[in-house]
Structure 1
Amino acid sequence: MASMTSRTRVQRTVNFQAADRVPIDLGAMKASSIGVKAYNQLKSALGLNSSKTRIWDPKLMIASVEEEILQRFHVDVVPLDISSVMHDGRPDSDWVPKTLYEGADGLLPPGTAVGANAEGDWVLLDQDGSPTSLRMPREGYYFDDISYNKPGAVIDPSSFRPVTGFTDAHLGALQARSSTLYDHTDYAMLGWGGGVCFLGLSMITDRLSHVTMGLPSEWMMMLMTEKETCHDLMNRSVEASIQCLEQLHEAVGDTCFAWGIAADDSGTQRGEFIHPDLWAEMIKPHYAKLCEWIHDHTEWKTFLHCCGSIYHLIPHMIEAGVDILNPVQTSAANMEAERLKAEFDGKIVFWGGGCDTQHVLPTGTPDEIREHVKERLAIFAPGGGYVFNQVHNIQPNIPPENIIAMLDAAYEYGPVDSTDRPAT
């Protein structure tokens, strides 16, 4: 098969059509990237030390993957993220230099302020200089969200303030970046911004724009005891999301192949957060409404990030209109690669699951990792509908030789014998 551009390769893959090889992702969204320490060590191993690493997300401490790395590892997808677009084009001099506890140097996004508490932990500061709940302990890798118990606190639906739009400056910057990437590169673009969150990070984030308002235990009980109120909150969230997506689509059109609808972790290591029947009753209708709007008004695929053991939820996600699922946590219960491929082949695109980041990537030898990736591609790739990415972000302590082995194997074993899947 003739070689394809990245954009064509991804577009055909997510439509279950034959492609010349499996597309590769490294850093197209904030759960498919790489920790700053690991990224710096990778650059050093490759002899690429000409610039300081930009930290894409201070909380997660992940790197913004540079063009040299994208080219070296044949990466096919890049992010188009409203949350970072305002500083993407700014010079390094506008960014905030910081040496992390583990010794990695990086540049924090413009305007980022970091303080310290009495214990010597770092604390992210608000724009007014007051401390947030985000803290990085000494020798830590991330800013953890330290939420404290609030005895007697309740969720007040009247206080819910979902985001309903973006500034003209943000939308203009997003449009400019979209045009530049579309006109001057052949990368596929994954859009992000304006989505919902019903069981994921909003569970612990104390913001009035999230349905849980930082009270996860209260929210989980309300899903059982105050269903009408929960439906109302989630419906308001979806309506606000649709308003955002209307603005985003007007700005970038269909230059993106997909848009992220949610980062909404619904599973633990051993099972689903809530019973699948309750998920279907409470969460599914709101996903369906959002996915329906996207499918009716755009050419985008719908992209869902959902960690953990979610095997029993996947049929409901498919029925709700989810097209692409990430990170495919194959080390969680009931999430074996063979099982997922056998039961959901052709029904949903798997984006991830290409390398076990819990048990293989940290401790395996490069040869073991190459064989592991080869086996995963042999399972997931036939028939299309698969994009290679490790399970979630590459952690900071991963040896560079293991990362190189993983990504090189993804490219080497990516070509597969496949034909277009018959239309259904």
Structure 2
Amino acid sequence: MGKVYSRRERVETALNHREPDRVPCDLTIAPPAYMELCEYLHVPFEPYWWDDCNHAFASVEVLEKLDVDIMHFSANAFVPRDFSIERDEFRDQWGVLRKKIWDTDTDFMYINGDAPLAGIEDVADVYAYHWPEPEELYNPDLAVPLVKSLYRETDFALTCQVGGHLFEMGQFLLGFEDYLAYLYTEPEIVEAIMDKTMEIQMKVETMVMDTIGEYLTYVRLNGEDVGTQNGPLINPAYYVQVVKSRHETEWSHVKKEFRKYNPQGKLSIHTCGGVYPFIPHFIDAGADILNPIQPSAAGMDTELIGREFGGRLCFHGGIDSVNVLALGNEQDVRNEVKKRIHDLGQGGGYLCAPSHNIQGGVPMENVIAMYEAIHEYGKYPLY
């Protein structure tokens, strides 16, 4: 019989591109679906942390029932400290109005309700904006005792969301369409937003690492979506010319600060969509883990990605949350899990999870089938 790994050891081993006893797994889920999951599992709906209105951080009880290996929290607030999921709208810490919209009677999400810098014509307007202070974005009085307790009393691999949004912040502040136009018509405004965001985020990252870095297995940066379902959102050449150097600066900073406390600590980045052309640049810029690996997006062939980048990059996600989890049956889910583990899990380096947050209305039987299949097909050595 081989070594029995703790959850934390399992994740650490995989992230160092070695094979543990089985492929580690994660749960990423939206609040409406989390409510449904709690009801299905007969546990209280008690998210222990709200820092992003469209993400529910699951409780210890839920994670233990599913035998998940990773526990999430955030140190980069996008909601007020008195946030409640019952609120229909609120203004986030960066000054953007968030409004709840309902897709169905049971499924909702928060979308941007305004763009505070819409229509600006001068870079001076960027610097005149009321930017948040780093201290407004991180609450160590809440984070430190919680993380210490989870580290000592559970064996979950702990991961914290912090920083990022260098590319996306302009979308929030200018509005999506204007932002895409400004990339080319007002580049100095876009770059000023990136730089101001980076300045703030790097200060937050240092604060977080100085207080809880020693307890974390990896850190996750907020989204930098440079892809769409149909392929790149921007020309990869633009990414190289304008964005990549800023990512290198921020990513090297957070890794340097993190590795003062965990020399093996890893950095996870998030970008949705068809981002295959960007992956070599993400590796060059310092990414250790790419989330979420969406196989339904253009160019995101998991067999190709695993073969080409496995060993240099870890993968998080991969289980099609739209066409399979939402629309398939339990056998479809099992087949999906088996394929993605085969494609992405060879030699370690894979955290098996949905390709994006599980949404409301997804059959809970499919969610359970996914985790059962991960534990069945994820045992090393893989088939």
Whole-Å Cα distance in 2 between the matches of residues 272 and 150 of structure 1?
Answer: 25
CA contact (8 A) 1:309 1:335 kept: yes
Whole-Å Cα distance in 1 between the matches of residues 83 and 100 of structure 2?
Answer: 17
Task: Report the equivalent of 1:260.
Answer: 220
Percent of residue pairs identical: 26
Match of 1:175 among 144, 158, 162: 144
Structural mapping, 1:7-406, within 5 Å: 7-26=8-27, 32-36=28-32, 38-46=33-41, 48-49=42-43, 51-54=44-47, 60=53, 62-83=55-76, 110-112=82-84, 123-125=88-90, 132-137=97-102, 139=105, 141-147=108-114, 152-154=119-121, 156-166=125-135, 170-193=139-162, 195-200=163-168, 202-205=169-172, 213-299=173-259, 300-353=265-318, 355-406=319-370
TM-score, normalised by the number of residues in structure 2 = 0.86
Deviation by residue 1:76-98 (Cα, 9 ceiling, x = unmatched): 111131257999xxxxxxxxxxx
Deviation by residue 1:142-180 (Cα, 9 ceiling, x = unmatched): 233234899854462222454452269811321111211
| Secondary structure in structure 1 of the residue aligned to 2:222 | strand
Deviation by residue 1:168-223 (Cα, 9 ceiling, x = unmatched): 98113211112111111111111112x131343x3443xxxxxxx23333332333
Q: 1:364/1:173 Cα in 2 relative to 1: closer, same or farther (>3 Å)?
A: same
Uncovered stretches (5+) of structure 2, i.e. residues with no partner: 260-264
The CA RMSD measured in Å over matched residues stands at 3.0
Task: Report the equivalent of 1:102.
Answer: none
Amino acid at match of 2:198: V
Q: 1:133/1:352 Cα in 2 relative to 1: closer, same or farther (>3 Å)?
A: closer
Which deviates the most, 263-272 or 56-65?
Answer: 56-65
Task: Report the equivalent of 1:118.
Answer: none
Is the aligned partner of 1:5 residue 2:6?
A: yes
CA contact (8 A) 1:373 1:406 kept: yes
| Secondary structure in structure 2 of the residue aligned to 1:254 | helix
Task: Report the equivalent of 1:421.
Answer: none
Q: 1:147/1:269 Cα in 2 relative to 1: closer, same or farther (>3 Å)?
A: same
Whole-Å Cα distance in 1 between the matches of residues 324 and 138 of structure 2?
Answer: 43
Whole-Å Cα distance in 2 between the matches of residues 242 and 169 of structure 1?
Answer: 12
| Secondary structure in structure 2 of the residue aligned to 1:309 | coil
CA contact (8 A) 2:271 2:292 kept: yes
CA contact (8 A) 2:76 2:137 kept: no
Deviation by residue 1:367-393 (Cα, 9 ceiling, x = unmatched): 221122111111111111100101111
TM-score, normalised by the number of residues in structure 1 = 0.78
Larger % of helix: which? 2
Q: 1:111/1:276 Cα in 2 relative to 1: closer, same or farther (>3 Å)?
A: closer
Greater CA radius of gyration, 1 or 2?
Answer: 1
Whole-Å Cα distance in 1 between the matches of residues 346 and 11 of structure 2?
Answer: 15
CA contact (8 A) 1:113 1:126 kept: no
Whole-Å Cα distance in 2 between the matches of residues 113 and 385 of structure 1?
Answer: 35
Between the two proteins, the alignment pairs up a number of residues equal to 369
